[in-house]
Structure 1
Amino acid sequence: MQVPQDIANAIVDPRAYADGKRVDDAFTWLRREAPLAKVQPDRYHPFWAVTRHADILAVERQNELFHNGDDFVTLATVEAKEKVLQITGGSPHMVRTLVHMDNPDHHNYRHLTQGWFMPPNLRQLEARIRELARGFIDRMAAYGGRCDFARDVAFLYPLRVVMEVIGVPELDEPRMLRLTQELFGNADPELSRTGSAEIDDKARIAAIQATFVDFMIYFNAMTEDRRKHPRNDLASVIANGAIKGQPLGHLEAMSYYIIAATAGHDTTSATTSGALWALAERPDQFAKLKADPSLIPALVEEAIRWVTPVKHFMRAATQDTELAGEKIASGDWLMLAYPSGNRDEAAFENPFAFDVGRAPNRQLAFGYGAHVCLGQHLARMEMRILWEELLPRLHSVELDGEPKNSVSNFVCGPKTVPIRFRMH
């Protein structure tokens, strides 16, 4: 079916994700009229938009059939692709994280740190994370009834947790936050390195490359330090790690740090601030939660579904195949549209309602299968602990101005959530 061009353009437009409704409307139309559709937005090569929950899972389950590493793993215009290929000498990847790998590399590199992010190890961190959560809630209380929950609390608490796990000193946290926002907010004039939304794609790629270089300079120094003085932190694992007896390649090691130091906190921050935004607009849901704190784990899952901070990943078909009755050719590019899957009427009852008691909740914001988010257990634990500490103290909350989302078609969430509140 021919997809209207305005629909195709909406699902790649960073401003549509900031707006929320525009991209929701586009995905709703696609799920209903063309759930697996080949689209060609202006300035892009054609790709398949995978918009249904079941079809996204079908792709995620078949890692040999749909590869991460063969093509660009996030949306890129024709112009941006040309610039990246020029920078890298032919590779679609400026960095090489777990997201960019297929097996056997994906399995081997993931195994290196997997133990750090599993529940038995995380239980040892719980007391410290709770201490940090209380500290940030005390800071919120000290604002005296008004604050920007995103900037004053939600950005900073997961940042502190993840930087402690990695081994980054507190003094360097503002630098890590700025570089993360430059990376994921590269289309947002308030967050990007260039300070403008009007730059061309080649200049944007050059700005992203400069941000990567800053990260690599920082983590290169950290690697040298941890090789001489290893500690009980993630940086020491990466710095001294080996795959089949060989040290990690420089690009792979730097990329490992970068994904831990960016995705490790930004997505949790977005989900936390999005949850409070939703509760501030829905006093009935806030009251329900206050009356029954056992709903906190369900709140966390619903917030993850509601915000879906990672908007997409791309896959490339390794051979001719069929999906949802459509013939996919070898080499075809597919967009896994997570916000669409998380609003799929076939998978969720009343998907456009924020429901703190939603059960079951098969949200797919962490991905699925071999590439499921490595930090999912840590993220859930951070959010659960924050709500366990905040809810008993938070008497009431309402918006104190207009919240705004960042402008991005890849990782996007609230960048400002002004609130008025009363603490017990």
Structure 2
Amino acid sequence: MNAETFPGWSTDTLDDRIVNPHVYTEPGTLLADYATLRATDPVHWTEPKGYRPFWAITSHAEITAVSKSNTLFINRERTYLSPIEGENWVRSMTGDSHLFRTLVDLDDPDHRKLRQITHSWFQPGTVKKNLEPKVREIAREHIDMMRNKGETMDFVNEVALFYPLRVIMEILGVPREDEPLMLKLTQETFGALDPDVIARSQRITAGNNLWGSSGDPQVDLLALAQTFFQYFGKVIADRRANPRDDVATVIANGLIDGQPIPEREALSYYVITATAGHDTTSSSAAGGFLELARRPAELAKLQADPSLIPLFVEEAIRWTTPVKHFMRTATEDTELGGKQIRKGDGLCLFYLSGNRDELVFENPNEFIADRNPNPHVSFGHGVHLCLGMHLARLELKILFEELLPQIASLEVAGEPKLSVGNFVNGLKTLPVRVKWA
């Protein structure tokens, strides 16, 4: 199935707009619709064209409540917004509702057992002790490459895409020569509806780092999954024969109830680690950098007091909210926000809306580099709290600790553009001009 076969996207109604991947390139329109829902109907029965109906959850309080109620609202029935045609296609290919069987697609006890296998690897103390020196080395390497570009560059395509990719591939033990393939697969997983993103991934894989679109490329989603599985199938075989000190070895040799992880779950484990560990961090880095370019006073604030950088990291994650939603399904009749939810109803948690909730964040539509407190919902809550959040925070903190002292001035040098996508999206291009200190 090609991404192009999804139905035409409508903007006729609010219900249509909040699922339309193209509207996510126009955040003003989207944020206005979210604000309307938060003010008038934060638990909103939604009937967009081409989709199964669901409840749109847009307030911070209700998003948090659903996220923490992991037995009442489950993942496995419906994890992402997908047109009916897309849902039917996945079922015809796999026999269930998922192309992969990752941590975000599963519920307890399967989710808990799989998560426990790598849990210790991604805890704050382990991340800091084992990974900080290597992450700082990778950050410095990419900043040196930035400086070698001169004053004008595309921060997304020359830095933000490649820095977190190198970090996560280091953790997975993937050799550098395979990084272009991993970038291609990651970009096509989350950017399947954006021709520019696909063209970029194809150019990089071909050994050409130039940015640009060529025609109207398409993604064969089944072939994409098969390529992932073929690649990581070889990794599993290698790590079982030749174990190393990396996450790839932990997954390959992990046991559930005394037995090896089932093949589909093991392969999917690699996929979610490679993709989620790369694309979301890239989006936060680029989005945060753009806001510093637009706000010299906020940049100066961080340069004057680098101890504020962790607060800036949280604000960049809130502001960009790289993962825009997850779905849940009610397991029994219940009430939420004064609405009667029936067993089997789908609920969509719109995290970007929760992160702009006026009842929680003062001046939510302002980027404030040292915002504190900042109880954003970008990493979720409950048992599905993001496994890699401590690594993501460390990567972003180190990148900006190393980068900001070297900048004398920073400005936007062209039109930033967001990718098409209603699940994961972020900047696909960010031209900037940097005067180096």
Give the TM-score range, shorter chain. Answer: over 0.9
CA distance in 2, matches of 1:241, 1:284: 49
Work out which of the residue numbers 165, 168, 175 in structure 1 matches 2:174. Answer: 168
Work out which of the residue numbers 93, 112, 124 in structure 2 matches 1:119. Answer: 124
Work out which of the residue numbers 327, 331, 335 in structure 2 matches 1:314. Answer: 327
Instruction: Determine helix, strand or coil for the equivalent of 1:391.
Output: helix
Match of 2:43 in 1: 36
Whether 1:227 aligns to 2:234 is: no
Matches within 5 A, 1:384-423: 384-423=397-436
Contact 1:300 1:380 in 2 (8 A): yes
Work out which of the residue numbers 84, 89, 100 in structure 2 matches 1:95. Answer: 100
Contact 2:197 2:428 in 1 (8 A): no
Instruction: Determine helix, strand or coil for the equivalent of 2:244.
Output: coil
Greater Cα shift, 138-147 or 116-125? 116-125
**Which amino acid in structure 1 is aligned with residue 406 of structure 2?**
R
Shift of 1:23: 1.1
List, as ranges, runs of 4+ consecutive aligned residues in structure 1 with deviation greater than 6 Å: 193-199
Match of 1:59 in 2: 66
Contact 1:183 1:192 in 2 (8 A): no
CA distance in 2, matches of 1:320, 1:5: 31
Contact 1:222 1:235 in 2 (8 A): yes
Whether 1:13 aligns to 2:26 is: no
Instruction: Determine helix, strand or coil for the equivalent of 2:61.
Output: helix
CA distance in 2, matches of 1:345, 1:41: 26
Please give the TM-score of this superposition, normalised by the length of structure 1: 0.95
CA distance in 2, matches of 1:47, 1:33: 17
Shift of 1:59: 0.2
Contact 2:254 2:261 in 1 (8 A): yes
Whether 1:272 aligns to 2:277 is: no
Match of 2:205 in 1: none
Please give the TM-score of this superposition, normalised by the length of structure 2: 0.92
Distance 1:197 1:49, change over 3 A: farther
CA distance in 1, matches of 2:173, 2:242: 12
Shift of 1:164: 0.3
Distance 1:22 1:234, change over 3 A: same
Work out which of the residue numbers 118, 138, 144 in structure 2 matches 1:138. Answer: 144
CA distance in 2, matches of 1:419, 1:319: 51
Contact 2:103 2:111 in 1 (8 A): yes
Whether 1:25 aligns to 2:32 is: yes
Instruction: Determine helix, strand or coil for the equivalent of 2:433.
Output: strand
Match of 1:383 in 2: 396
Matches within 5 A, 1:163-242: 163-192=169-198, 207-242=220-255
**Alpha-carbon displacement from aligned partner over 1:166-216 (angstroms, at most 9, x marks no partner):** 1100111111011111110011111248989989xxx96xx2221111111
**Alpha-carbon displacement from aligned partner over 1:42-77 (angstroms, at most 9, x marks no partner):** 1111100000000000001100000001x2200011
Contact 2:140 2:402 in 1 (8 A): yes
**Which amino acid in structure 2 is aligned with residue 103 of structure 1?**
D
State the identity as a percent.
50
Instruction: Determine helix, strand or coil for the equivalent of 2:143.
Output: helix
Shift of 1:396: 0.8
Distance 1:35 1:222, change over 3 A: same
Instruction: List alignment gaps of at least 5 residues for structure 1.
Output: none
CA distance in 2, matches of 1:303, 1:328: 34
Instruction: Determine helix, strand or coil for the equivalent of 1:253.
Output: helix
Would you say how many aligned residue pairs link Structure 1 and Structure 2? Answer: 414
CA distance in 2, matches of 1:310, 1:344: 17
Work out which of the residue numbers 333, 338, 361 in structure 2 matches 1:348. Answer: 361
Instruction: Determine helix, strand or coil for the equivalent of 1:190.
Output: helix
Work out which of the residue numbers 45, 52, 55 in structure 2 matches 1:48. Answer: 55
CA distance in 1, matches of 2:138, 2:72: 43
CA distance in 2, matches of 1:124, 1:249: 28
Work out which of the residue numbers 157, 160, 185 in structure 2 matches 1:151. Answer: 157
Instruction: Determine helix, strand or coil for the equivalent of 2:195.
Output: coil
Please report the RMSD computed on the Cα atoms of aligned residues, expressed in angstroms: 1.6
Whether 1:72 aligns to 2:83 is: no
Instruction: List alignment gaps of at least 5 residues for structure 2.
Output: 1-10, 203-212
CA distance in 2, matches of 1:351, 1:289: 20
